[in-house]
Amino acid sequence: MTESQSETPKAEPETFLDLLDLDEVAADLFIGNSPIKGRQRVYGGQVVAQALQAAMNTVPGDHLVHSLHSYFIRPGDEVRPIVFDVDRIRDGRSFTTRRVMARQASGAIFNLSASFHKAEPDVEFTRPSAAADVPSPDGELINEDWDDISEVRLVPDTDPGRAVAWIRIAKPERLPLDPVGRDGMALHAAAVAYCSDHIPMDAIRSGHPATDDWESFMGASLDHAVWFHRPARADEWLLFDMRLQSLQGSRGVAHGTVHNADGELVATTAQEGLLRRMRG
């Protein structure tokens, strides 16, 4: 089914829960829409979260996402609905795999592969946060006015090639612990995915030598990955710490960690972004 064949989407979403309230129009086929912000493209984290939600709608409730890998293919148009087509790659006793293609009238704009795991008891280990000296969310930080759904507080004066921020879902103020997934945290995993696209490009940009000439550059996310280690409430402050690993051929790669306020590692993320000087 193409966008032109789909039903009219719901009203413009105002909260994170609205974003994930996808319409199921056929078996394994879902439709979502975007807040209208007058931007040139849909925020990438939104499409990641919606595609993950579409996949989760087809996964057994005792399997929680443990990793996702995705590619941004075309800029999304915020005034058009997005069609999410889920492919049930594998249903196993321990692991379930899904692939999701997101389309608009222009064609495919995004694809995602996600793997889900049934909880298994085992030993616990987590590397301590390397950002122990980061100010608290209530400290002297920079409030980034990105959207109405999430709240971003950037840590100033970080090293070149590094971006650090406290991020949480702000609208609604509290997310429910839904009955789907281990510890009821499937919804919060989608929220972590939503927030994970906020600052990777900041890390890539800050490592470029032409930091005083951004108007002559264009940037875009190319691909994005998240590994989910532990359940975490995304309506509470999470510390995202992104570091540039490589910058070459107009492409930069940033790796990072996500810790909760207690210092526990809850996710690892990576993104490759395009940073190209515009002609003329």
Q: Give me the active site residues, please.
A: 197, 221, 271
Give me the residues paired with residue 265 across strands: 259
Q: Which two three-digit tokens encode residue 129?
A: 């946060």
Q: Please choose, from the candidates 218, 208, 277, 219, the residue with its C-alpha nearest in 3D space to the C-alpha of residue 244.
A: 208
The β-bridge relationship of strands 162-169 and 217-228 is unpaired
Asked if residue 277 lies in contact with residue 217, where contact means CB atoms within 8 angstroms, the answer is yes
Token output for 15: 């909260």
Return the amino acid letter for 227: W
